[in-house]
Chains A and B, each alone.
Chain A
Amino acid sequence: MTDGNHSRPDPDALLRQAAQEGKGRLKIFLGAAPGVGKTFEMLSEGAARRRDGVDVVIGVVETHGRAETAALTRGQEIVPRRDVPYDGRILSEMDIDAVLARAPRLALVDELAHTNAPGSRHPKRYQDVEELLAAGIDVYATLNIQHVESLNDIVASFTRVRVRETVPDRILELAEIEVVDIPPDELIERLKAGKVYLPHEATRALGHFFSKSNLSALRELALRRAAQAVDAQMLDHVRALGVGGTWAGTDRIVVAINELPGADGLVRAGKRVSDGLHAPWTALFIETPRTAHFNDAQHRRVAEAMTLATQLGAAVATVPAASVVDGIRGFLTTARATQLVVGKSRRSRWFELLHGSVVDRLVRDTPGVTVHVLPLDARPAASEPRQRRGAGWGTPSGYAITLLLVGLVTAVGSALFHILDLGNVALLYLLPVMVAASLFGLRTGLFAGLASSLAYNFFFLPPVGTLSVSNPENVISIFVLLGVAVATSQLTARVRAQADLAAASARTNATLAGFLRQLSAVNDPSEAARLICEDVARLFDVQAVLLAPLVGPGLAVQAASTPDYRLDTMDMAAANWASDTGTPAGKGSGTLAASEWLFNPVRAGGRTLAVLGVARDNGEPIRADQVPLLSSLIDQSVLVLERLRLEMEMRDVDAVRTRDRLRAALLSSVSHDLRTPLTAVIAAADELGHGATPELIGTIRNEAARLNRFVANLLDMARVEAGALKLNVEPTDLADAVAGAAHDARRALEGHAVQLDVPPDLPLVLVDPQLFHHCLLNLLDNAGRYGDPGTAILVAGRHVYGEIRLSVCDHGPGLPPGREGEVFETFHRLEGSDRAAGGTGLGLAIVKAFAEAMGMTVEAGNRPDEPGAAFTLVFPTALIVRAVASDAV
């Protein structure tokens, strides 16, 4: 982390606070032991709140027959308990449903650690409380310190009483904690006075448990735990506000993991420090450019150390940084750590003089942090050859080429010796040295320097032919050659390392870019899930699954890299944990590390969109240096999944809006289009009583026909909307189809002649005759309605450019230019709904729906030749039946 981040509010902390806001608040009255007066305190405060006008009920309170406690419950509303028959007895439990139904502002719940009767909704009372909180009900609860899960061992170790009913620490972290405290002497007095109720099993250990030393210890634990809770909440608060600087609080320990043998020892040391200070701790690995050159053993050691740390209860973090010191320093500040555990390799004094000591710099640069240094046993260069080029011994061919070059230069030098002086010949020898050092690394370079100086000495330095040097200044030439070899190889090695780093980062970027590019083209969430799994599986050589939260509780597998993945109960528990808490769970994490899988939540805006699970076939965790890339991929996945989710929501909203609009249009259309003809029919029938006239009969007939048409269209539309269109395609003669439709529509088309203009050899088309008939009926009906009275309707078919275009043209006002496409919308009528011509607005929508279902397209426009509208059905080549062999017919 860099300094720029310090004063920025931590989004996660803000989100945690925001998530807390809709929920009820929990206050725990924490006591060191039974009898300190927790219940009394809770009831008093409940009564006080009630007097303030708060709606308070008692969910459950155990008075244990104590008079002053019972007195406090009087005047308060108590939700009746629920009797649960169990094992021949009747157990009385808090009625969670009744409390939820009562929905008070505040509920008082005694004995948070209580175990519910079998068959209750939740096995534990604290789970009931969680449900109340989730329902927005504030809860006051009581708890004794020995029931806190993380302290269970400690309490048992000195009291020799182990309680089985524990409450997870996370509950305490949610809560405001009030310690109900009385001095141990007073408690013992109360005990002796019989004012303390003790459960049966505790009486046995009574004498021991209530010793003064035990009570003191328990009291200290309670106070310390309360302080810790305050600290955690303070930390969240500080983070949310973006307050920088060191924050005093209890200790926080960071263990800096490295790749050396003995890293596990560091972890154990961290655990000891943590236990001693009773403080949370984090195992930290700093990823530097050097990490990329780790060999497998080094990667494994880091991963193992991190896993061990999670198993011992540490949080883990991997932070990329330019150097180890920078990374640790940055993390210490953001985590507000007070203690640092580092390892110190037994490096030579030379090495430290050259490179500086990490430990010294840490001590110097992190004032206010106690640094614990552990000696580590590490000689990496000797025991484990690095995989780095340039630092190795070089290759035989490198040495051969070097020798060849030296020989060549010697030959050239000899040839030109008569025109060169000795100094220039020495310069010539720089050539093989630089070439060898830059191409083959330090050792080959040194070899070249040595060979060159020997050759120079032997062939050129007087006395020629011997390896002795007569002139002392020539010794300098030899040293220069060796020095150049060292300098050049160092320089090249550094350049090469930088290039490697750049290449690695380019590879990472390319991977991410490829990942994103592929995903950005995806519009389907399940397709995106599949791609994410496949990419993660390919890039990290793991199995990957993506689980998405269901509407209710639980997760469902959305995609997996291989079909034969296996998720057992433990794995699903880890996945659910990751989903619910938004923190990683499973192998290599702090939670449920026994799972074979590591589950990372994919979160946006405080909600879990999905959980990505990864597992190695060989059971090893993901390599520490790959973790940042995995996080980047997850971050990218967040963007993609969030985009898809938003798109889907938009579509849903659009669909709902469209449906609402359609429903409104349908209602108005139905009432108009059914009532108008019915009115006409009823009125005409009444008139018939006074004598039938051809007009009246015609009215009844035509209006009834109109009703019939409308009902048919409604039925058709219902079939389209229900997705129940079953196509029964057969080769159809367009002339035949048009003639049939014109025949059936003849009454609606009264006054309009239908002119069919279709070439005799027009190919047959593949359509569903029934659907196509309805298309044509509606088009003809439409043409008859909007064409000027007495004008002809032209139906023209043409076979052009591999398509067949069948147009139904009327002679009338035509369509408003620029709005032709709108006519196909359901219930759309271009000029208001109460036109004399009537019509449902359904017809053309049905034409479009049916035509598209059959693979055609429809076009609406105005006739080019004369005024009027033209509706064209376009049959693509696929729907055109090729010519039939003439001998078959």
Chain B
Amino acid sequence: MPARILVVDDEVAIRRLLRHTLERAGYAVVEAGTARDALSGAAAEHPVAVLLDLGLPDRDGLTLIPLLRRNGEVPVLIVSARDATEEKVAALDLGADDFVTKPFDTDELLARLRAALRHRDAGNTAQKTLHKADLTIDLDRRIVRRGTEPLHLTRKEHDVLAILARHPGRVVTHDRIIAAAWGGDDDPRIEYLRIVIRNLRQKLEPPGPVGSLIANELGVGYRLLVDP
């Protein structure tokens, strides 16, 4: 039986589109048009993930996130036309796994969903080893290799890479990265993070467009793009 996805959106056209897309990708779809339906649907149908629109008729989708998360560790993906960074950060802080801004690219939506589900399948125990093309990231031993050649990273670079690698394919907010890597410092600042990310990219990313390994999520955080 295919995994069920709960689609919460007040627009029928969007629900129909998402149903089409998700069913094509092999999921089953449960629809909800209101927050109330969403909560009862989540309780009754045990979806593996929720795609949640923030602009619902009966209440703000943001307030729904903690309620949905209460029914076990179901990943919540925000699919919304709201693009203010503060709202994205708020959604992530409230426990959403990721977000996709309308109008969205269906391939991108599916990729985000897969990443969220992978994370759920892996439980909270992060993958030990990640790959991207010929790059290998060994989290436990703090070793990064291109092919067989080890690459030298500074301690901070390792710290930042580690927190991103614990959530592969998913956005990690600036605050969380800074807290993880500079938590003990007196004056952790975002420019440190920018410089470390730049250095990591220079060391790890192949020539070509910037951000092929560490993607920037505007004003929100970073996302590590690794092979599944």
A740 pairs with B218, CB closer than 8 A = yes
Complex: how many Å from CA A754 to CA B210? 11
Report chain A residues within 8 Å CB of B210. 735-736, 738-739, 756
Q: Is A733 among interface residues, defined by CB-CB distance under 8 A?
A: yes
B219 pairs with A889, CB closer than 8 A = no
The listed residue (B192, B209, B216) touching A889 by CB distance below 8 A is B192
User: Smallest Cβ distance from A393 to chain B, in angstroms?
Assistant: 80
Bits for B187-228, please: 1 = Cβ < 8 Å to A, else 0: 001111011111100100000011100011011000000000
Complex: how many Å from CA A754 to CA B196? 24
Q: Is A512 among interface residues, defined by CB-CB distance under 8 A?
A: no
A773 pairs with B218, CB closer than 8 A = yes
A888 pairs with B192, CB closer than 8 A = yes
B216 pairs with A736, CB closer than 8 A = yes
User: Smallest Cβ distance from B190 to chain A, in angstroms?
Assistant: 6
Q: Is A366 among interface residues, defined by CB-CB distance under 8 A?
A: no
Bits for B177-194, please: 1 = Cβ < 8 Å to A, else 0: 000001001000111101
The listed residue (A730, A739, A764) touching B195 by CB distance below 8 A is A764
A743 pairs with B103, CB closer than 8 A = no
Q: Which of B138-181 contact A (CB under 8 A)?
A: 154, 156-157
A733 pairs with B197, CB closer than 8 A = yes
B197 pairs with A731, CB closer than 8 A = no
Complex: how many Å from CA A30 to CA B156? 101
User: Smallest Cβ distance from B194 to chain A, in angstroms?
Assistant: 5
Q: Is B85 among interface residues, defined by CB-CB distance under 8 A?
A: yes
A889 pairs with B211, CB closer than 8 A = no
Complex: how many Å from CA A888 to CA B190? 11
A731 pairs with B190, CB closer than 8 A = yes
The listed residue (B189, B196, B219) touching A769 by CB distance below 8 A is B219
Q: Which of A726-745 contact B (CB under 8 A)?
A: 728, 730-733, 735-740, 742-743
Residue of B nearest to A754 (CB): B209
Complex: how many Å from CA A742 to CA B154? 29
Complex: how many Å from CA A764 to CA B196? 12
Report chain A residues within 8 Å CB of B196. 889
B218 pairs with A769, CB closer than 8 A = yes
B194 pairs with A732, CB closer than 8 A = yes
Q: Is A708 among interface residues, defined by CB-CB distance under 8 A?
A: yes
Residue of A nearest to B174 (CB): A730
Report chain B residues within 8 Å CB of A704. 103
Complex: how many Å from CA A608 to CA B203? 74
User: Smallest Cβ distance from B51 to chain A, in angstroms?
Assistant: 20
Report chain A residues within 8 Å CB of B189. 731, 888
Q: Which of B31-74 contact A (CB under 8 A)?
A: none
B85 pairs with A733, CB closer than 8 A = no
The listed residue (B103, B191, B215, B218) touching A731 by CB distance below 8 A is B191
Complex: how many Å from CA A466 to CA B211? 121
User: Smallest Cβ distance from A667 to chain B, in angstroms?
Assistant: 25
Chain B residue total in the interface (Cβ 8 A): 26
Q: Is A760 among interface residues, defined by CB-CB distance under 8 A?
A: yes
Complex: how many Å from CA A709 to CA B222? 24
Complex: how many Å from CA A642 to CA B154? 69
Q: Is A770 among interface residues, defined by CB-CB distance under 8 A?
A: yes
Complex: how many Å from CA A368 to CA B4? 115
User: Smallest Cβ distance from A553 to chain B, in angstroms?
Assistant: 46
User: Smallest Cβ distance from A480 to chain B, in angstroms?
Assistant: 96
Q: Is A692 among interface residues, defined by CB-CB distance under 8 A?
A: no
Q: Is A830 among interface residues, defined by CB-CB distance under 8 A?
A: no
Complex: how many Å from CA A740 to CA B211? 8
A736 pairs with B190, CB closer than 8 A = no
A735 pairs with B198, CB closer than 8 A = yes
A889 pairs with B85, CB closer than 8 A = no
Complex: how many Å from CA A754 to CA B209? 8
Q: Is A248 among interface residues, defined by CB-CB distance under 8 A?
A: no
A760 pairs with B103, CB closer than 8 A = no
Chain A residue total in the interface (Cβ 8 A): 26
User: Smallest Cβ distance from A738 to chain B, in angstroms?
Assistant: 7
Residue of A nearest to B85 (CB): A770
Choose among A739, A760, A889 the residue with the greatest number of B CB atoms under 10 Å from its CB. A889
A884 pairs with B209, CB closer than 8 A = no
Q: Is A881 among interface residues, defined by CB-CB distance under 8 A?
A: yes
Complex: how many Å from CA A754 to CA B211? 14
Choose among A730, A733, A770 the residue with the greatest number of B CB atoms under 10 Å from its CB. A733
A760 pairs with B202, CB closer than 8 A = yes
Bits for A703-725, please: 1 = Cβ < 8 Å to B, else 0: 01000100000000000000000
Residue of B nearest to A712 (CB): B83
A764 pairs with B191, CB closer than 8 A = yes
A739 pairs with B209, CB closer than 8 A = yes
Complex: how many Å from CA A764 to CA B194? 8
User: Smallest Cβ distance from A797 to chain B, in angstroms?
Assistant: 12
Complex: how many Å from CA A735 to CA B198? 9
Residue of B nearest to A770 (CB): B219
User: Smallest Cβ distance from B101 to chain A, in angstroms?
Assistant: 10
Complex: how many Å from CA A889 to CA B197? 10
Complex: how many Å from CA A617 to CA B199? 72
User: Smallest Cβ distance from A714 to chain B, in angstroms?
Assistant: 14
Bits for B105-121, please: 1 = Cβ < 8 Å to A, else 0: 00000000000000000
User: Smallest Cβ distance from B49 to chain A, in angstroms?
Assistant: 25
Complex: how many Å from CA A730 to CA B194? 10
A884 pairs with B192, CB closer than 8 A = yes
B197 pairs with A736, CB closer than 8 A = yes
B199 pairs with A889, CB closer than 8 A = yes
A708 pairs with B219, CB closer than 8 A = no
A728 pairs with B198, CB closer than 8 A = no
A739 pairs with B211, CB closer than 8 A = yes
Report chain B residues within 8 Å CB of A708. 103
The listed residue (B85, B185, B192) touching A728 by CB distance below 8 A is B85
In the complex with contacts A743-B211, A769-B85, A731-B219 CB distance below 8 A:
no
Q: Which of A752-786 contact B (CB under 8 A)?
A: 754, 756, 760, 764, 769-770, 773
Report chain B residues within 8 Å CB of A728. 85, 219
The listed residue (B85, B157, B194, B199) touching A736 by CB distance below 8 A is B194
Report chain B residues within 8 Å CB of A738. 210
Report chain B residues within 8 Å CB of A889. 154, 156-157, 192, 195-196, 199
User: Smallest Cβ distance from A717 to chain B, in angstroms?
Assistant: 16
Report chain B residues within 8 Å CB of A736. 194, 197-198, 210-211, 216
In the complex with contacts A736-B216, A773-B218, A889-B199, A731-B185 CB distance below 8 A:
no
Report chain B residues within 8 Å CB of A881. 191
Report chain A residues within 8 Å CB of B191. 731, 764, 881, 884
Complex: how many Å from CA A95 to CA B182? 81
User: Smallest Cβ distance from A418 to chain B, in angstroms?
Assistant: 100
User: Smallest Cβ distance from B178 to chain A, in angstroms?
Assistant: 11
User: Smallest Cβ distance from B120 to chain A, in angstroms?
Assistant: 27
Residue of A nearest to B157 (CB): A889
User: Smallest Cβ distance from A712 to chain B, in angstroms?
Assistant: 9
Complex: how many Å from CA A302 to CA B185? 79
A888 pairs with B198, CB closer than 8 A = no
Report chain A residues within 8 Å CB of B197. 733, 736
User: Smallest Cβ distance from A764 to chain B, in angstroms?
Assistant: 5
User: Smallest Cβ distance from B214 to chain A, in angstroms?
Assistant: 9
Complex: how many Å from CA A91 to CA B195? 87
Report chain B residues within 8 Å CB of A888. 156, 182, 185, 189, 192
Complex: how many Å from CA A737 to CA B84? 17
User: Smallest Cβ distance from A501 to chain B, in angstroms?
Assistant: 70
26 pairs from A and B in contact (CB 8 Å cutoff): A728-B219, A730-B219, A731-B194, A732-B194, A736-B210, A737-B216, A739-B210, A743-B209, A754-B209, A756-B209, A756-B210, A760-B198, A760-B202, A764-B195, A769-B218, A769-B219, A770-B85, A770-B218, A770-B219, A884-B191, A884-B192, A884-B195, A888-B189, A888-B192, A889-B156, A889-B196
Taking A731-B194, A735-B198 as known contacts, 19 extra A-B pairs with beta carbons closer than 8 A to each other, sorted by chain A number, are A736-B211, A739-B210, A739-B216, A740-B211, A740-B218, A754-B209, A756-B209, A764-B194, A769-B85, A770-B218, A770-B219, A881-B191, A884-B192, A888-B156, A888-B182, A888-B185, A889-B154, A889-B157, A889-B192
Q: Kindly list the 3 A-B residue pairs having the minimum CB-CB distance in the complex, ordered from nearest.
A: A739-B210, A731-B191, A769-B219
